[in-house]
Chain A
Amino acid sequence: MTAIALPDAKFRRRITRRRAFSHYPAAWVALLYLAVLLAAAAAAGVVAPYDAEQQDLSQALAGPSSSHWLGTDRLGRDVFSRLLFGARVTLLDVAVATAVFLAVGVPLGVAAGYRGGRLDRIVVRFADLVLAVPGIVVLLMVVAVFPGNDIATMIALGLIGCPGLLRIVRGSTLAIRDELYVKAARLSGLGTPAILRRHVLPRISGPIIVQTSLFCATALIAESGLSFLGLTRPETRGPSWGNMVAEASNAMSQDSWLLVPTGGVLVITVIAFGVVGDAVRDTTMGRAVSATPLLRRRPNQQRAATVAPSRAALSVQALTVAVGGVTVVRDVDFEVAVGEVVGVLGESGCGKTITAKAILGLLPAGGEITAGGIVFDGANLTALREKELNRVRGAGIAFISQNPAGSLDPTFTVGSQLREVIRRHHPQPRRQADGEAERLLRLVRLPDPADVLRRRPGQLSGGMAQRVCIAMALAAEPKVLIADEPTTALDVTVQAEILALLRDLQHRLGMAILLVTHDWGVVADVCDRAVVMYAGEVVETATVDELYARPRHPYTAALLAANPHRANTGRPLPSISGAVPRPGEWPIGCHFQLRCPLAESACRRAPVPLSATAPGHLSRCIRAEDVNA
C-alpha cells in the first residue's frame, strides 16, 4: 500500500508512436473482464451458487472442486460466491473514491487552467499542499475518527488522490486554451460552457481516463489494505476482498490455497485497470519507443559474395536501405578514392544522411540494409558482426554530424569524452591521453585547449563544439571521414572557418572525406567530385568542374540554377517547384519525372539506369544530352 507518487510528466520527452486503440487486444480483454466482473457483482444474488454466509463445516477448507470452484474457507463458505459478494463492497468503495477523485479534480483543474489568474494560483498551491501530506497518515486519522466507515475513508482517499489529476487537467486545459481555434471560438461569441464542452473536454478526456484507471488501481489496493487490517470492513459485516485475504492469512497454517483466489482476483483486477490505462495513454499520447536498436541483427553472410573488390578508400555498391519496411535509399553506387573529397548533394529527404549513417551501421530504429554492400579496407561492412564493425567506427571511418551541440554527452567534460575515445583506439595512460587530447584540440585550431578540455558541452559555442567533434573524429587517424552537413547549424562566418579547417586537415592528413551537403558553395569549395541524390537514388556523378560546366541531369541543372552563389543580381532566384516525393510514393520510372521540364512518356515507363555520358560522368536520365546548364 505504498503510496508512490505518479511520475512527473516533465521527465517525459517521448519519442512517440501512436497506434489505434483497436491494436491493443489486451485492453479489450481487460475491458471485457471488468464488465463481466461488474455485472456479476451487481447480480451476485442471482449468479452466485451459494449465499455469502452459508456455512458447511463438513466442507471446511475444501480445495477447488466442481461444487466449490474456488474452494471453501474455514467455515465451509464458498469462496467464489464470497468473492462475488465481496466485489460489491470493494468495487462500490473504489467507485466512491473515484467519483470524489473526478468530481474534485476535473472541475477544479479545468477552472484553474481555463480561468488562470489568482484562482489558478490558489488551486495549484492547494494541490501542492495536499500532495505533500503523507496519504497513509491521513487515512489512518480518518479511520480513527470514523471507525469502520468505509465510505468516509474512500471520500478521503479520493481527496488525497485528486491533486495529481488536478495538475494534469490544469496543464492540458492551459495548453488548449491558448490554441488558435479556441481563441477564435471565444472571439466569435461562443459561451464558456459551450467552449468547454465542445473544445476542451474532448481533448482532455484521454489524460483523464489514464489517470482514472491508474487511480482505480491505487484505490483498489488501498481499500483492500485497510479492509485487510480490519479498519474499514471487518469480516463480521460481510465479505470484502481485503478481509477475505485476512481470512486466508488466518487459515494459512492449515491450508494456504485460499491465498490464491483472494489475492489473484486483486492482482488481475489491478492489472486490468493498468492495461486499460496504458492502452489509452499509448493511443492518446503515443508510446515511448527506443529510436536506436542498439543490437544489430546478425549480418547476412551471403551478401559478402555480392560485392566487388575495390581499390577505393570506400566503395558503396548497390546499397539499398529500408526504414520500417519502406525503401528509402535504392541501389546507391559510388566510390571515394584515397585522399579524395566527395560531396553528396541533394534536397532534404533524398536519403543523403541515411546513406551516410548506413555506411557505419548506425541506422535509426527500424532501419536496415536490405541489399548491396559497402567495401572498406577489403571487407564488406554489411557482412560484419556488430563487434567487428565497431572496430571500423572511428578508427577506419569517422563521422561528424550536423548537430555539433547535440553530438557530445552533456554530462561529461570535453576532456573526459575525448580521452575516452583516444584510449579506446590507442590504449595509453591517462596522463598521456590528456597530452594527446590537447594536441588534437590544437590541431583543430582551438585556442586554449586546456580550458576547453575542462568545459562541458553546454559551455561551448556551436563552432567550438564542431571543432571538438572533429578532434574526436581524428583521434584514431581514420582513412575516411564522413561529414554529414557539418556546417548547416553554424553561423555563416563559422561555416567558412570549419570548411577551411576540413580542407586544411584533408591536405595535411591525406584522409578521404565524404561530405553530405545541400550547399553548392561547400561543394565548389572543398570537393573533388560530387554525387547528386534525388528521392533515394544517385542521379548524377562527376567531377565538380564537370558538374558545374555540363550537368547531364535535369535535377542537377535545376539545383545549379537555384544556387544562390551563382544567382544573377536583380533577378529572382529560380526554384524547383513541387517537393521531393516521399519514400513509398516514388513513381515508376524516373523519380524526378513529376518536377522535370524535360519529362516525356518514356520517363514514366520503366526505371532509368545510371549510364555514362562521358568518362567518369554518370547520369540517370534518358535525355541527358538535352540538359542545359
Chain B
Amino acid sequence: MIRATARWLASSLVLLFAVTVLTFLLSALAPGDAAKTMLSGQTTSYTPEQYQQLRHELGIDEPLPVQYWHWLYRLLHGSLGTDLFSGQPITQALGGRLAASLSIIVGTVLVSAVVGLAIGVVSAVRGGLAGRLVNGLTLLGLAAPNFWLALVLVEWLAVRHPVFPATGYVPVREDPAQWLRSIALPVITLSVGGSAFIARQTRDAMADVLSRDFVVMLRAHGLPLRSVVLKHALRNAAIPVVTLLGLMFVSLLGGTVLIEGIFAIPGLGQQAVTASSTHNLPMIEGVAFYFTIIVIAVNLLVDLSYRWLNPTVRAQ
C-alpha cells in the first residue's frame, strides 16, 4: 500500500513537471512575447529600448531555464506568480474560473453517467425494438455538433420558453439556485453527446457481461432480476464505463472552450485562449498546472473506483 502510494506520488510529480516544462517550451516557441503585446496595445510605435526595459521589468528577458526555476521556486512557496497584465495573483485570477469550469465539467460527467448508464442498461436488457430505438437516438446525440446544439437549446429553452438564462454564470456561493440555472444549458448541451457515448459503451459492456455464466447462475439461485442486473452485472460492466467517464472528464477540460464562449461562462478554457494569444506566461503555466492537477486527481479517482468495483484488478 505504502509502495503503491509512493509510486503514484512519484509518477504524478513527473507528469506535473513534464507538462509545465513542455508548456514553457511551447510558449517560448510561439512568435512574439508579452512585452510586445503590451506595447502594441498602448502605443503605435515604441523604441527597442522601451521594449527591452519592459522585458526586463516583466522578468522575461532571462534565459528560459532560469525563468522556469523562478516559477518552480515560487510554486514551492505556494505561489503561482502574478498576471503580467493585471498584476493579480494567478491563484486569485484562476480560482473563480476553475470553479466555473469544474461546475460545467462535473455536471456534464454526472448527467452523462446517470443518463448514459440508465439508457445503456435498459437497451442491453431489453434488446429488440427498444434497443434499436436507443441505437438511433444515441447516434443522433453523437452526431449533433455541440456548438449548434447550444444555439438550438438557447433558442428553445432561453428565448422561446425562458426557463434558463441564455448566458452568464452565477457562482454557487452567491446563489445556489441561480448557479444551477446558469450552468443548466451548457451542461445539457455537453451531456447530449456524452450520454449517448456512455449509453453505447454501457450497452456493449452489459451485453457482454449478461452473456456470462454467473448471470445465469445468479438467476438460477432465484435472485431477483433487479439485483442480477443492477448489482451484479452492472458492477462487472462498470470498469470500461468508468474508464471512459475519466477520459471524458479529461477531454472536457479542453473541450469546454467553445461552449464557454457561446454561453459567456468565465472559465479556464476562455482564459487559456486569451493568455496564449497575449503570451501571458504565468497565466498559461497556471492553467496548465491546474489542468494537470485535475487530470491526476481524476486518474486517481478512476483507479480507486477500479479497486472498489473489481478488487481482482489489483492482482493483475
Residue-wise interface mask of B (192-205) relative to A, using a CB-CB cutoff of 8 A (1 in contact, 0 not) = 01100100010111
Residues of B within 8 A of A395 (CB): 222
Complex Cα distance, B312 from A610, in Å, reads: 51
Tell yes or no: B69 within 8 A of A by CB: no
Are B240 and A403 closer than 8 Å at their CB atoms? no
Are A134 and B125 closer than 8 Å at their CB atoms? no
Are B225 and A263 closer than 8 Å at their CB atoms? no
Are A411 and B236 closer than 8 Å at their CB atoms? yes
Are B145 and A144 closer than 8 Å at their CB atoms? no
Given contacts A362-B220, A401-B217, A408-B217, contact A290 B211 (CB under 8 A): yes
Complex Cα distance, B126 from A224, in Å, reads: 37
Residues of A within 8 A of B26 (CB): 141
Residues of B within 8 A of A288 (CB): 203-204, 207-208
Are A291 and B30 closer than 8 Å at their CB atoms? no
Of A145, A259, A469, the most chain B CB neighbours within 10 A belong to A259
Complex Cα distance, B277 from A398, in Å, reads: 70
How many chain A residues touch B (CB < 8 A): the figure is 84
- The residue of chain B having its C-beta at the shortest distance from the C-beta of A260 within the complex is B152
Tell yes or no: A2 within 8 A of B by CB: yes
Residue-wise interface mask of A (272-296) relative to B, using a CB-CB cutoff of 8 A (1 in contact, 0 not) = 0011001000000000111111110
Residue-wise interface mask of B (272-316) relative to A, using a CB-CB cutoff of 8 A (1 in contact, 0 not) = 110011000000000000000000000000000000011110010
CB distance from B258 to the nearest CB of A (A): 6
Tell yes or no: A245 within 8 A of B by CB: yes
Tell yes or no: B62 within 8 A of A by CB: no
Complex Cα distance, B31 from A393, in Å, reads: 73
Complex Cα distance, B124 from A289, in Å, reads: 8
Contacts of A386-430 to chain B: CB distance below 8 A: 386, 390-395, 398-399, 401, 403, 406-412, 417, 420-421, 424-425
Are A275 and B255 closer than 8 Å at their CB atoms? no
CB distance from B229 to the nearest CB of A (A): 7
Are B144 and A410 closer than 8 Å at their CB atoms? no
Tell yes or no: B146 within 8 A of A by CB: yes
Complex Cα distance, B239 from A1, in Å, reads: 25
CB distance from A282 to the nearest CB of B (A): 11
Are B315 and A458 closer than 8 Å at their CB atoms? yes
- The residue of chain B having its C-beta at the shortest distance from the C-beta of A413 within the complex is B311
- The residue of chain A having its C-beta at the shortest distance from the C-beta of B127 within the complex is A290
Partner of A410, one of B236, B247, B252: B236
Tell yes or no: A328 within 8 A of B by CB: no
- The residue of chain B having its C-beta at the shortest distance from the C-beta of A293 within the complex is B127
Complex Cα distance, B146 from A270, in Å, reads: 13
Partner of B143, one of A274, A390, A412: A274
- The residue of chain A having its C-beta at the shortest distance from the C-beta of B262 within the complex is A249
Residues of B within 8 A of A576 (CB): none
Tell yes or no: B221 within 8 A of A by CB: yes
Partner of B248, one of A4, A290, A399, A424: A4
CB distance from B136 to the nearest CB of A (A): 9
Identify 20 new A-B residue pairs, CB closer than 8 A, beyond the known A4-B247, A11-B205, A266-B143.
Answer: A2-B193, A5-B251, A11-B239, A140-B273, A229-B261, A245-B148, A267-B140, A268-B143, A274-B139, A294-B210, A362-B220, A386-B225, A390-B222, A394-B220, A401-B213, A407-B217, A410-B312, A411-B236, A417-B218, A421-B221
4 residue pairs, one from A and one from B, having the closest CB atoms: A394-B222, A291-B211, A2-B255, A399-B220
Chain A residues close to B by CB (< 8 Å): 1-5, 7-8, 11-15, 134-137, 140-141, 144-145, 217, 221, 224-225, 228-229, 245, 248-249, 252, 256, 259, 262-263, 266-268, 270-271, 274-275, 278, 288-295, 357, 360, 362, 365, 386, 390-395, 398-399, 401, 403, 406-412, 417, 420-421, 424-425, 456, 458, 469, 472-473, 475-476
Chain B residues close to A by CB (< 8 Å): 26, 30-31, 124-127, 139-140, 142-149, 151-152, 154-155, 159, 190, 193-194, 197, 201, 203-208, 210-225, 227-229, 232, 235-236, 239-240, 243-244, 247-248, 251-255, 257-258, 261, 272-273, 276-277, 309-312, 315
